[in-house]
Chains A and B, each alone.
Chain A
Amino acid sequence: MNCQHARRLVSDRLDQPLPPEPARALAEHLASCPECARFARTIEARMRGIAALPDVPASPAVRRAVAAYVASDGDRPRGGLRHGLSVAAAVLTVALIAGAMTLALRGGGLPTVGTAPGAARPASPSPTATRAATPAVPLNPGDPPIYRDALDTLAAYLDTWVREGPGSAARYLAPDQRASTGDAQPRPRAAAIVSYKDVGQYVSDDRFELLVNISVDLGGAQPAPTDGGAWVDGVNPRYVVFERSAPGGPFRLMLSPAKVALGGAPAPKPTPAASATPTAPAAPGPTPAPLPSCATDDLTPTLTAEGATGSLVVNVFVTSRVDCRLSGMVTVGVADTGVATEVPGAVSAQTATGPVVTTAQVDLPYRGAVVSVVWSNWCGSREGLAIRATVLGQIAALTPDALPRCDDAGSPSTLRLLETTWQGVIQSTSPSARTIALPDAPIGTVAVDDSTTIADAAGNPLDFAALRPGDRIIVRGLPASDASPGILAHAIVVLR
Chain B
Amino acid sequence: MDERALVGCAQGGDGVAFASLFDRYHGPITSYLYRMVGDRDLADDLAQETFVKAYGALGRTSPDLNFRAWIYRIATNTALSHLRRRRLLQWVPFSPGVPEPSADFRLAERLGERELIDLALRRIRPAYASILLLRHHQGLTLKETANVLGVSPNTAKVRLFRARKAFMQAYESVAEGRKDAR
Residues of chain A whose beta carbon lies under 8 Å from any beta carbon of chain B: 7-8, 11-12, 14-16, 42-43, 46-47, 49-59, 61-63, 65-67, 69-71, 73-74, 78, 81-82, 85, 157-158, 160-161, 165-166, 203-204, 240-241, 244-246, 249-250, 252-257, 306, 309, 317, 319, 366-368, 370, 401-402, 430, 432-433, 447, 449-451, 478, 480-481, 483-484, 486, 488
Contact = CB atoms under 8 A, between A and B. Distances in A.
B6 interface: no
A160 B117 contact: no
Given A53-B118, A70-B19, A254 B164 contact: no
A329 to B, nearest CB: 21
Contacts of A49: 113-114, 117
A53 B167 CA distance: 15
Nearest to B109: A246
Given A78-B52, A254-B93, A59 B44 contact: yes
Q: Which of A69, A204, A254, A483 has the most CB of B within 10 A?
A: A483
A157 B137 contact: no
Nearest to B116: A49
B182 interface: no
A11 B164 contact: yes
Q: Which of B28, B42, B88 has the most CB of A within 10 A?
A: B88
Interface string B140-161: 0010000001110000011011
A62 B84 contact: no
Given A46-B171, A481-B84, A245 B103 contact: yes
Interface string B19-44: 10011001110110011000111111
A157 B168 contact: no
B118 A43 contact: no
Contact of B91 (A14, A74, A255): A255
Interface of B: 15, 18-19, 22-23, 26-28, 30-31, 34-35, 39-45, 47-49, 51-52, 55-56, 76-78, 80-81, 84-85, 88-97, 100, 103-104, 106-107, 110, 113-114, 117-118, 121, 127, 132-133, 135-137, 139, 142, 149-151, 157-158, 160-162, 164-165, 167-168, 171
Q: Which of B41, B77, B94, B168 has the most CB of A within 10 A?
A: B94
12 contacts: A15-B160, A46-B164, A54-B114, A66-B51, A71-B15, A165-B96, A245-B107, A253-B95, A254-B93, A447-B85, A481-B81, A484-B78
A240 B42 CA distance: 20
A63 B84 CA distance: 26
A53 B114 contact: yes
Contacts of A63: 22-23, 26
A488 B48 contact: no
Nearest to A66: B51
A461 B23 CA distance: 42
Given A50-B136, A245-B107, A66 B52 contact: yes
Given A58-B26, A255-B94, 9 more contacts: A11-B157, A14-B164, A15-B142, A16-B142, A249-B100, A368-B90, A370-B88, A433-B45, A484-B78
A66 B113 contact: no
A317 B95 contact: no
A56 B34 contact: yes
B55 A245 contact: no
A15 B106 CA distance: 36
Q: Which of A70, A82, A402 has the most CB of B within 10 A?
A: A70
Given A58-B27, A63-B22, A249 B118 contact: no
B30 A58 contact: yes
A460 to B, nearest CB: 25
A265 B91 CA distance: 20
A63 B18 CA distance: 12
A306 B84 CA distance: 12
A245 B165 CA distance: 25
A81 B35 contact: no
Contacts of A56: 30-31, 34, 40, 43
Given A58-B30, A66-B48, A66-B51, A204 B90 contact: no
A488 B84 CA distance: 9
Contact of B137 (A53, A78, A317, A478): A53
Given A47-B136, A249-B103, A55 B77 contact: no
B172 to A, nearest CB: 9
